Structure 1
Amino acid sequence: MPSAHMSYSVGAVSMQASKKHRNHRNAVPTGEPGNHFVPQNYQPVHTLCSTDGTQIGNNTLATELQYCTLESSSATSGCNTAYNSPSTLSFSPTTSSPISNQDCQSENTYGSPISVSCITEDPDDLRHKLKELETAMLGPDSDDIVDSIESALHSHLTLEPEKWLQAMDIPRGDLKQTLIACAQAMEEKNNMVAEWLVAELRQMVSVSGDPIQRLGAYMVEGLVARLSRTGSSIYKALRCKEPPSADLLSYMQILFEVCPYYKFGYLSANGAIAEAFKGENRVHIIDFQIAMGSQWVTLIQALAARPGGPPHVRITGVDDSVSAYARGGGLDIVGRRLTQFAKSLGVPLEFHPAVMSASEIQLGDLCVQPGEALAVNFAYQLHHLPDESVDTTNHRDRLLRMVKRLHPKVVALVEQESNTNTSPFVPRFVETLSYYTAVFESIDVTLPRDSKERINAEQHCLARDIVNMIACEGAERVERHELLGKWRSRFTMAGFSPVPLSPLVNATIKSLLEKYSEHYRLEERDGALYLGWKNRALVVSCAWR
């Protein structure tokens, strides 16, 4: 690895210098292993900073060493180490990748510590600083020392990445493999190679290119955020200059129309709920992410057409901040819309808002009443809740156990069929690349590549999730998808049993897909419905009780 190679080179130089100047009249033993000598007036770097970061003394060389050390890429505790100033992101269709936007300040005001890979951008300045270091430590006649160090630096800054790519057998220009190689370099803490690959990748991506180029643009920003340890700030910054709420709503609507993923989830869940409500006079739906409430329009229509008349309907909607912003207001907007629509169809409907996140919900917040047939809806929501790998509270399983105590007639689950929850970084990166390649390809067949609407929809509705999965860890990583097999285990442990989906649901979805590309695939397996693009399953829907 370059870092190990650099330590060896500098160490060898130090040993050579120690032997050459053992009897230097201004040198004294350091007492360290190897019997190194330093000038009598030399002051160690760590003594130049107080515990509050205040510089002590006026030694120019020592001050430079504080910010530019050859032997360590980590910051010294308590020192005013130089940091990269972070930039937050906006995206422009005229650039090859997302660009920095200084108008939006991040909460995280630091990046990676200065390391050997960023000693100086000016070669002449580098030579000057090395000469000062050489003169102070070794005397005025050691040009070979500078040449040795410069040679090592040049080797690591230019040759190592190329050799590293060749060793990985990655053809130059292969965007997918270069993205994966960059992720592997970061995982191995090979930041010098990672930085070089990021520079290469920026020349290969474009928000108006083919699907892998567009996806690559957002994945590169995720890699940059992870490399600079500003993942959480970049993730938040993607919302720092969100478009007006009406525009954001229109971007969501674009994805809703051009891809069948949301319609598939809503129709399949509604089919399971309608089946459970047969013959019931009072029904209650708890939606843990109600968003705009669009899912319930078709169900209200179905209940209105039910023989014998519609039941009395209550809907409890749990809010989320993104939907609230897109709506331009609180849940009262959703409540008015649904009650007015139901009234126009002769369906009595009450709406109960629960203005809190799903992880905060308690039984008393749901207002369940005796005599109601209860249905619970988890559509694209549960993967946002932290599980046992993030927090000992384990809200993911806690919520399922709480819902089970309500004795619902049906629980509808719709989730992305992807494995990014507890996967290590590189497998998670590869999974994200595979999953969203299929998503971007499916968008590509509907909207032209130079479409401003498509660029905005991908930027504002997909990019933030991608960056979060790549750049963030721990509680800050909120996009934590699991495969159906894992969801099945969680529901079973909470006491639920699977409910077969009605054949009518399958037929309805098949009819829906006739309006879209022939590359969409519908598969019923083990009591669940899978919607995919070509050979990649993307969304799964199932029911429990």
Structure 2
Amino acid sequence: MFNEPVTFQMKMSQKHKMSYNSNRFSIEPAQNFGSCCFLQSENLDYHSSSDNSGHTTYPSVRSVEHYCTLESSTKISFPSLNSPSTVSFSSNNSPVSKLQPKPYVLSSQNSLEIANDSLENESCLTHSDSELRHKIRELESVMLGHDADILDMYDTAIPEESDPFLLEAERWKKMMEMISRGDLKEMLCTCAIAVAENDMETTEWLMSELRKLVSVSGNPIQRLGAYMLEALVARVASSGSTIYKALKCKEPTGSELLSHMHLLYEICPYLKFGYMSANGAIAEVMKGESEVHIIDFQINQGIQWVSLIQALAGRPGGPPKIRITGFDDSTSAYARQGGLEIVGERLLTLAQSYDVSFEFHAIKVAPTDVEIKDLELRPREAIAVNFAMMLHHVPDESVDSKNHRDRLLRLAKCLSPKIVTLVEQESHTNNLPFFPRFVETVNYYLAIFESIDAALPRENKERINVEQHCLAREVVNLVACEGAERVERHELLKKWRSRFTMAGFSPYPLNSFITCSIKNLQQTYQGHYTLEERDGALCLGWMNQVLITSCAWR
């Protein structure tokens, strides 16, 4: 999600840096390198949408040729279905309809299905079915928390004497009341339930209602809702992978993408938080080392290492020799418009300006294919391994029997590193079923959209670019894709702890100086950011939602 900005120059502000003082180091936020040009944003058009209730318009994004567009909803045709408006309500709220009712059976998947035969006064649920449904409901409540209430309209037990048609009418009534309240989050989740249940009638109706409410220039839930809706449309059409790949292909040019990434880096503290905490831990453990080898499994543009080079340059007794081994990724390469040699040259120029001996080694193979011999280890080097915002992209045992995620951790352990740093998004999307994953995605990204809302005006066109090009693609992948095509697979800190422990690592608690520096960083940003320490790890969040965690191992 948080790809870093690319360029840095020698004329840099000293606003954020890391330095040594009295045999201890202090950390300040990393510099702002260079200037970035911003694009003219997309124009907002209003497309027509109609249903049985009338003709309405809703905003969508019209992008220039090389921009990504989310227009899949205009290209999807649904099966011919009866309109929900055939169920109406009288002035006393009793259901009125001319349809001939058919009995419904509640299946074990909590969906209502039309049966051809009557129930003949028998309960539609056996005793074992009832127990199973109860256990499933308990699990859903644990996973979804307060959001489990959304399931109620789909999860009402049917008494023997109840008229199934009246119960279905009551469900439609509840959904109409939900729409009249304008609760966009509840509508999105209800639509996701309908998609999960393959209820195309409800899906089509709710999508038409949602299009009237979402907007890329609205409040945070309206903006996120625009992308969540398109992701649902893509899932229904089984085109999630196609749209995800199209979004990657239709990104702006490298320099334009750089400006969007740079803006996100500046207005939100997430990447700076991760880099500062990881660098602080590395600097602390490398105090007495004369040769330092940093292995970065996703180096992006290399900006993380600028403040560390500066700090080690000021170390009492002189700086160590520094060698950095970096792995590339396609998004970063596209943004910088070249290979890792560009990163190496920039870092070398920086190190020379501080009289630091420096080498850069670019790895051309993917992290999942790397072998120890590719790292060209040398005697007397103290090794630090860095996993910053990359392990959630590595497939685990739920995707591939080779389990590259745990294999990479075992390989890191074989290097006998002095320290391993981990920075990850605090979200549980790896192996959750579709609907709980949808709710998790809504809650997590809504907090990010709210934090952006506190930094930039809603009508700011650059904000639209940031959200569309840096965040929307992830949302589509999380909601619309499955299997190996879903590459966004986040895990919670407790799961990472389990993986690192199984690989043979022990926690390395971050010290109080790092925590103090992060608090100083937090105070430079407006909004409801939170910072807490959990068993030696640092957690940065927005209000009550933890977003990023940082920890160290050895």
Could you say which TM-score interval applies, normalised by the shorter chain? Answer: 0.7 to 0.9
Aligned partner of 1:135 in structure 2 is: none
Partner in structure 2 of residue 353 of structure 1? 362
Moved more, 375-384 or 361-370: 361-370
| Kept in 1: contact 2:218–2:458 (CA 8 A) | yes
In structure 2, do the counterparts of structure 1 residues 258 and 94 end up closer, same or farther at CA, with 3 Å as the change threshold?
A: farther
CA distance in 2, matches of 1:97, 1:332: 43
Q: Which of 241, 248, 252 matches 1:239?
A: 248
Counterpart-to-counterpart distance in 2, 1:419 and 1:458? 21
Shift in CA distance, 449/114, structure 1 to aligned 2, threshold 3 Å: closer
Correspondent of 2:193 among 184, 192, 204: 184
Distance 1:94 1:160 in 2: 40
1:201: which partner in 2? 210
Q: Which residue of 2 is the match for residue 544 of structure 1?
A: 553
Work out the CA distance in 2 between the residues paired with 1:220 and 1:91. 19
Contact 1:255/1:457, CA 8 A, preserved across alignment: yes
Whole-Å separation in 2 of the counterparts to 1:478 and 1:395: 13
1:376 aligns with 2:340: no
Q: Does 1:221 align with 2:221?
A: no
CA positional deviation for 1:114: 6.5
Is the Cα–Cα contact under 8 Å of residues 78 and 200 in structure 2 kept in the other structure? no
C-alpha separation between the residues in 1 aligned to 2:499 and 2:59? 39
> Residue 458 of structure 1: which of 455, 467, 470 is its match?
467
3-state DSSP class of the match of 2:249?
coil
- Distance, in Å, in 1 between the alignment partners of 2:78 and 2:190 is 23
Q: Structure 1 CA distance, aligned partners of 2:492 and 2:264? A: 23
CA–CA distance in 1 between the matches of 2:292 and 2:284?
12
Structure 1 length as normaliser, TM-score?
A: 0.73
Q: Give the Å deviation of 1:182.
A: 0.5
After TM superposition, give the deviation of residue 535 of structure 1 in Å: 1.1
CA distance in 2, matches of 1:444, 1:260: 14
Distance 1:103 1:115, change over 3 A: farther
1:422-467 per-position Cα deviation (integer Å, ceiling 9, x unaligned):
1111111111110111101101111111111111011110110011
| Structure 2: distance between partners of 1:361 and 1:113 | 45
User: By how many angstroms is 1:238 displaced?
Assistant: 1.0
Is the CA contact 2:399–2:484 (under 8 Å) kept in the aligned structure 1? Answer: yes
Distance in 2 between the 1:530 and 1:428 partners? 21
State the secondary structure of the residue aligned to 2:359.
strand
The residue that corresponds to 1:424 in the other structure is: 433
Alignment partners' CA distance in 1, 2:456 and 2:168: 37
Structure (1 or 2) with the larger CA radius of gyration: 1
Write the letter of the residue equivalent to 2:428: N
Match of 1:259 in 2: 268
Identify if the C-alpha distance between structure 1 residues 452 and 405 changes in structure 2 by more than 3 Å, giving closer, same or farther. Answer: same
Residue in structure 1 matching 2:526, options 502, 517, 527: 517
Partner of 2:178: 170
* Corresponding residue SS for 1:469: helix
Give, in whole Å, the separation in 2 of the partners of 1:521 and 1:436: 16
In the TM superposition, what is the alpha-carbon distance from 1:93 to its structure 2 partner? 3.7
Q: CA-to-partner distance for each residue in 1:263-298, whole Å, 9 max, x for gaps?
A: 000000001111111100000001111011000000
DSSP 3-state at the match of 1:532: strand
- Post-superposition Cα deviations, 1:23-68, rounded to whole Å, max 9, x if no partner, equal xxxxxxxxxxxxxxxxxxxxxxxxxxxxxxxxxxxxxxxxxxxxxx
Tell me the amino acid that sits aligned with residue 337 of structure 2: G
Percent identity over the alignment is 59
Q: Indicate if the aligned counterparts of 2:427 and 2:491 stay in contact, CA closer than 8 A.
A: yes
Q: Which moved more, 1:96-105 or 1:207-216?
A: 96-105
2:404 and 2:247 map into 1 onto residues whose CA distance is 26
Question: Residues 97, 423 of structure 1: CA spacing in aligned structure 2 closer, same or farther, 3 A cutoff?
Answer: farther
**Partner residue in 2 for 1:436:** 445
Structure 1 residues 292 and 161, CA gap change in structure 2 (3 angstroms): farther
Q: 1:362 aligns with which of 361, 366, 371?
A: 371
Deviation sequence 1:461-497 (CA, Å, 0-9, x none)? 0110011000000000000000000000000000000
AA in 1 matched with 2:173: Q
> Is the CA contact 1:222–1:467 (under 8 Å) kept in the aligned structure 2?
yes
Whether the 8 Å contact between 1:161 and 1:196 is mirrored in structure 2 is no
Structure 1 residues 171 and 148: alpha-carbon distance in aligned structure 2, compared to 1, 3 A threshold: closer
1:115 aligns with 2:72: no
Contact 2:42 2:461 survives alignment (8 Å): no
Larger relative CO (CA 8 A, sep 6+): 1 or 2?
2
Alpha-carbon distance between aligned partners in 2 of 1:161 and 1:301, rounded to the nearest angstrom: 67
SS in 2 for 1:280: coil
Determine if the alignment matches structure 1 residue 532 to structure 2 residue 541. yes
CA distance in 2, matches of 1:513, 1:112: 44
Q: Pick from 292, 315, 326 the counterpart of residue 283 of structure 1.
A: 292
CA distance in 1, matches of 2:428, 2:262: 26
Match in the other structure for 1:414:
423
Amino acid aligned to 1:115: P
Note the C-alpha offset of 1:117.
Answer: 3.5
Q: How far apart are 1:161 and its partner, in Å?
A: 9.6
Structure 1 pair 447/285, CA: closer, same or farther in 2 (3 Å)? same
Shift of 1:92: 4.8
Question: In the aligned structure 2, how far is the partner of 1:514 from the partner of 1:103?
Answer: 40
Alignment of 1:48-127 (within 5 A): 92-95=43-46, 96=58, 98=60, 115-117=79-81
Aligned-partner Cα distance in 2 for 1:160–1:194? 19
- Gap change, CA 1:276 and 1:507, over 3 Å in 2: same
Matches within 5 A, 1:23-34: none
| Partner Cα distance (1:160, 1:198) in 2 | 23
1:100 positional shift: 7.9
- Equivalent position amino acid for 1:473 in 2: E
Asked if structure 1 preserves the Cα contact closer than 8 Å seen for 2:241 and 2:481, the reply is yes
Q: 1:165, CA displacement in angstroms?
A: 4.3
When normalised by structure 2's length, the TM-score is 0.72
Maintained 8 Å contact 2:278/2:552: yes
Contact 1:378–1:412 at 8 Å: present in 2 too?
yes
* Alpha-carbon distance between aligned partners in 2 of 1:322 and 1:246, rounded to the nearest angstrom: 12
CA contact (8 A) 2:295 2:325 kept: yes
Structure 2 counterpart of 1:170, which letter?
Answer: M
**Structure-2 separation of matches of 1:174 and 1:160:** 23
1:85 is matched with which residue? none
Counterpart amino acid of residue 444 in structure 1: D
Query: Which residue does 2:509 correspond to in 1?
Result: 500
Equivalenced residue count is 421
- The CA distance in 2 between the partners of 1:354 and 1:531, in whole Å, is 31
The answer on whether the counterparts of 1:91 and 1:459 sit within 8 Å (CA) in structure 2 is no
Please tell me whether the aligned partners of residues 380 and 414 of structure 1 are also in contact (alpha carbons under 8 angstroms): yes
Offset of 1:196 from its aligned partner?
Answer: 1.5
Equivalent residue number for residue 400 of structure 2:
391
1:408 & 1:499 partners in 2: Cα distance?
12
Cα RMSD over matched residues? 2.9
Equivalent AA in structure 1 for residue 370 of structure 2 = I
1:370–1:117 Cα change, 3 Å: farther
Which of 321, 334, 349 is residue 330 of structure 2 equivalent to?
321
Cα distance change on mapping 1:307 and 1:526 into 2, 3 Å: same
Structure with greater proportional helix content: 1
For the 8 Å contact 1:380–1:415, the answer to whether it is kept is yes
